[in-house]
Structure 1
Amino acid sequence: MSKQALCIGINDYPGTQNDLSGCVNDANDWAAALAARSFSVVKLLDSQASKAAIVAAISGLIGQAVNGDTLVITYSGHGTWVPDQDGDEPDQRDEALCPWDIGQGKALLDDELHLLLAKRAAGVRIILMSDSCHSGSVTRGDSSELDPGMPRARFLPPEAWLHDVELPSATPRRLAGGIARSGGDLLMAGCLDSQFSWDTRFNGRPNGAFTYYALKTLAKLGASASYAHWFKAITPAYLPTNQLPQNPQLFGSATARKWKVFS
């Protein structure tokens, strides 16, 4: 059984004036954690993570995977939305991830991601870890490690990269949910689909809040821990907080939630 991972981290968004700080660190941190668990890892960082490169990397993983293999895809960067073109979205919006060349209109739609992942062979497990999206408002958790003066939302407004396009007025509701429907077995997302994930600093080092706490708790998990156990270790002990109002989410079947983490 093969274990393969793709770790994507994008701080640099040319032409948008919306750069981030912690996404490359996130990708490197995920890559190190996965390599320690015997995954072969490919990283796409900043300019390496164009839409074409992301699509090619995912296609390569899917095309080579066979029954019994496990694929992990981590994404740290902006999320956004575009006007729905095929009428399948009640809020008139398709949710999307933001590749490095989003400033050229190169959004990766949830519909496109679904088509990519749907090509997998039977018996291939796909785990998605997404540290992007929208913002919320609860008041629990531990903010003691958070540096002052932060955080910044990992959401790129369409007006920052879409030009001369009429935008619908409906409120976006399903960015994380859209990614969950993309064809993976299990998704751990940084927040509710109506929230932001936050880009911030811990002890002077930039990271995504979800990634930081996910990896902190991962390091303490027992060898037989499931994804459900891992998720319970993150929330509500670490997220949300007053300064980081995001509720991590776990999407997947009851069976997938019981899988051993990164097994």
Structure 2
Amino acid sequence: MTTKALCIGINDYPGTANDLSGCVNDANDWAAEFRGRGFEVRLMLDTQAKLAPMIEGISDLITTSVKGDNLIITYSGHGTWVPDSSGDEPDGRDEALCPYDLATAGALLDDVIHALFSRRPAGVRIVLISDSCHSGSVTRGREDDLDPGVAKIRFMPPEAWMAKDQLPPPELSRATPRGGFTRAGGDLLLAGCQDSEYSWDTSFQGRPNGAFTYYALKTLRDVEPRNYDAWFRAIRSYLPSTRLPQSPQIFGTRTARLFKIFQ
């Protein structure tokens, strides 16, 4: 059995004026955690994470795996959406991840991710950890480590990267988002926020990070949770908070939620 990880982090979005600060740190932090656990790790940062290489990287990770392997994919960057063209989304939108070349190549749609995940061999587990906007509400989490200052949302509105003649109608933009990446497939999805919220790009102790990634790794080390459900509950002791109104989510079967972490 092999555990392999693909860690993607994108700060730079040419042509959009919507750059981020903490995503490359997120990817490097996940990679360091996985390497410390003996995983095979591939990093894709900024210019390495164009649309075609992202698709190729996910495909290679999945198609070279064998029964018993565990695959972890982490993504830190902007999330976005486009009008649904296949009729399978209840909100009329396809959610998507934003590659480095978003402005020229377009987004990585949840439908494409689902097709890639469906190619996994029998007996292979896939966990997707996304620190982007799939989209707060309750204010209760602790903010001890959070630096003062302005945070940025990890959401790329269509008007920031689409040509004017391709923009969706206003009524679709106003629709309440539903679905996120829950249709992407895999065994588990850990997401930074609800569909109707934003994930935040901020700073902790003078270093940029995504809020979800920072607290996910902090609780993984401090609490040493026994399974994904316990890990998720530990993260929710920090998020949402007054200044970070994002509610992390976990999606998967009860059995998958009780898997030992990264095993």
TM over 0.5: yes
* CA deviation map 1:188-216 (0-9, x unaligned): 10011111000000011000000000000
Aligned-pair CA distance for 1:93: 1.3
Mapping of residues 1-263 of structure 1, within 5 Å: 1-133=1-133, 136-163=136-163, 164-168=165-169, 169-170=171-172, 171-174=175-178, 177-222=179-224, 225-235=226-236, 237-263=237-263
Aligned-pair CA distance for 1:172: 4.6
* Contact 1:37/1:262, CA 8 A, preserved across alignment: no
Secondary structure at the aligned position of 2:193 is classed as coil
Amino acid at match of 1:207: N
Unaligned runs of 5+ in 2: none
Secondary structure at the aligned position of 1:128 is classed as strand
Aligned-pair CA distance for 1:131: 0.1
Structure 2: distance between partners of 1:23 and 1:202: 13
* Contact 1:185/1:256, CA 8 A, preserved across alignment: yes
Q: CA RMSD in A?
A: 1.3
Amino acid at match of 2:235: I
Aligned-pair CA distance for 1:173: 1.3
Secondary structure at the aligned position of 2:166 is classed as coil
Amino acid at match of 1:35: R
Unaligned runs of 5+ in 1: none
TM-score by length of 2: 0.95
* CA deviation map 1:61-101 (0-9, x unaligned): 11111110000000000000011112222322111000001
Amino acid at match of 1:165: Q
* CA deviation map 1:136-164 (0-9, x unaligned): 22211111221111211000000001111
- Indicate the percent of aligned positions where both proteins have the same amino acid: 63
* Contact 2:135/2:197, CA 8 A, preserved across alignment: yes
Structure 2: distance between partners of 1:66 and 1:167: 41
Secondary structure at the aligned position of 1:179 is classed as coil
* Contact 1:135/1:246, CA 8 A, preserved across alignment: no
Structure 2: distance between partners of 1:134 and 1:72: 19
Structure 1: 4+ residue segments shifted above 4 A: none
- Cα gap change, 1:247/1:189 in structure 2, threshold over 3 Å: closer, same or farther? same
Structure 1: distance between partners of 2:16 and 2:114: 26
Secondary structure at the aligned position of 2:94 is classed as strand
* Contact 1:96/1:109, CA 8 A, preserved across alignment: yes
- Cα gap change, 1:94/1:156 in structure 2, threshold over 3 Å: closer, same or farther? same
Structure 2: distance between partners of 1:208 and 1:172: 24
Aligned-pair CA distance for 1:119: 0.2
Structure 2: distance between partners of 1:107 and 1:233: 32
Structure 2: distance between partners of 1:201 and 1:166: 33
Aligned-pair CA distance for 1:134: 5.0
Structure 2: distance between partners of 1:172 and 1:79: 16
* Contact 2:134/2:180, CA 8 A, preserved across alignment: no
Aligned-pair CA distance for 1:220: 2.1
Structure 2: distance between partners of 1:135 and 1:69: 30
Aligned-pair CA distance for 1:38: 1.5
* Contact 2:51/2:105, CA 8 A, preserved across alignment: no
TM-score by length of 1: 0.95
